[in-house]
């Protein structure tokens, strides 16, 4: 395991010192960078080739352009990013004097945030539809902030709806008993009901006439002989059975 500031191979890591910068600048000015893998040993640096390349490319190159990005540079970055995405090295080739690392930092700290504030997706560079869909909610929130009474009313309504939701989510009650399984007294026979209501054992008073021509004074109907009724009695027999008749007699 490497010690503080050094890799497992013993190479130095971390910030560069002014002495290291001077060694790297002097070597490249005299010999060019050549192979970055071989350069550290040739330049007398205890660094890896990648560290030397990044230090030279991003900080020590004499043609590096310092200072604020111009409007033309900003527009170039926006146009290229909409086509190339986060390929900073490719974008840097179109901006003389600007490093890929500097362009990347400028994008993340300025241009990306500016697109978001303008309502554009920083990856597609197209208008963000989610902002428009949430606009009614933002306007409603603004109204609530300006009208506390309305906020209280909506809060109470939300509580009422929450109670209703709790109620409808309760488990259902036990089902009622099956009526088909219950036992009831057997229904009365239809013939018995008809006989009880119509008194079928008695003659129909609306269609019955007293047969005056009958010597015994028996009932005579237009539907048949009175003898067809079971237990039929003559008028004289009814009189003899009546106790009141005997008192009169």
Virtual CA dihedral for 98, 102, 107, 108, nearest 10 degrees?
180
Specify the pLDDT at position 140: 66
- 101-121: string of b/e by CB count within 10 Å (b at 16+)? ebbbebbeeebeeebeeeebe
- Output the pTM of the full model: 0.46
Q: According to DSSP H, which parts of the chain are helical?
A: 18-31, 39-43, 49-55, 71-84, 88-92, 100-106, 112-117, 129-133, 135-146, 148-168, 190-198, 235-241, 243-248
CA–CA separation, 61 and 63 (whole Å): 5
Specify the pLDDT at position 16: 96
Is there a contact between 63 and 96 (Cβ–Cβ < 8 Å)? Answer: yes
Across 229-235, average pLDDT: 47
Greatest CA separation for the chain: 168
Average pLDDT of the chain to the nearest whole number:
73
CA–CA separation, 59 and 56 (whole Å): 6
- 8-34: string of b/e by CB count within 10 Å (b at 16+)? eeebbeeebeeebeebbbebbeeeebe
The closest of 48, 137, 64, 127 to 101, measured between CA atoms, is 64
pLDDT value at 27 more than 70: yes
Specify the pLDDT at position 155: 66
Most confident of 92-106, 141-155, 202-216: 92-106
Across 230-234, average pLDDT: 48
Is there a contact between 52 and 23 (Cβ–Cβ < 8 Å)? Answer: no
CA–CA separation, 123 and 84 (whole Å): 10
pLDDT top residue among 173 and 18 = 18
Is there a contact between 46 and 11 (Cβ–Cβ < 8 Å)? Answer: yes
CA–CA separation, 207 and 222 (whole Å): 7
pLDDT top residue among 96 and 192 = 96
CA–CA separation, 249 and 243 (whole Å): 10
pLDDT value at 245 more than 50: no
Dig out the tokens for 105 from the structure: 């930092």
Specify the pLDDT at position 157: 66
Dig out the tokens for 195 from the structure: 């006989």
Specify the pLDDT at position 6: 57
pLDDT tens digits, 102-130: 999 999 999 999 998 888 888 888 887 66
- The CA-CA-CA angle for residues 164, 169, 170, to 5°, reads 105
Q: Which residues contact 27 (CB under 8 A, 6 or more apart)?
A: 39, 42, 43
pLDDT value at 71 more than 70: yes
pLDDT tens digits, 31-70: 998 999 999 999 999 999 999 999 998 899 999 998 999 9
């Amino acid at each position: 395991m490497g010690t503080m500031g050094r890799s497992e191979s013993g190479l130095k890591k971390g910030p560069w010192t002014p002495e290291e910068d001077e060694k790297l600048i002097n070597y490249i000015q005299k010999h060019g960078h050549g192979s970055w893998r071989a350069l550290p040993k040739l330049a007398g640096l205890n660094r890896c080739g990648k560290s030397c390349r990044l230090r030279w490319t991003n900080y020590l190159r004499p043609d590096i352009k310092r200072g604020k990005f111009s409007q033309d540079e900003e527009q170039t970055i926006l146009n290229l990013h909409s086509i190339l995405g986060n390929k900073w090295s490719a974008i840097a080739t179109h901006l003389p004097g600007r490093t890929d690392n500097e362009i990347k930092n400028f994008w993340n700290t300025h241009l990306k945030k500016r697109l978001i504030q303008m309502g554009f997706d920083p990856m597609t560079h197209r208008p963000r539809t989610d902002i428009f869909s949430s606009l009614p909610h933002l306007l409603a929130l603004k109204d609530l902030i300006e009208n506390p009474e309305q906020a209280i009313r909506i809060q109470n309504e939300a509580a009422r709806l929450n109670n209703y939701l709790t109620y409808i989510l309760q488990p259902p009650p036990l089902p009622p008993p099956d009526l088909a399984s219950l036992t009831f007294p057997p229904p009365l026979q239809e013939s018995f009901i008809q006989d009880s209501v119509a008194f079928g054992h008695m003659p129909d008073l609306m269609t019955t006439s007293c047969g005056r021509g009958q010597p015994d004074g028996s009932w005579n109907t237009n539907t048949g002989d009175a003898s067809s009724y079971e237990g039929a009695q003559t008028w004289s027999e009814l009189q003899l059975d009546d106790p009141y008749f005997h008192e009169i007699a």
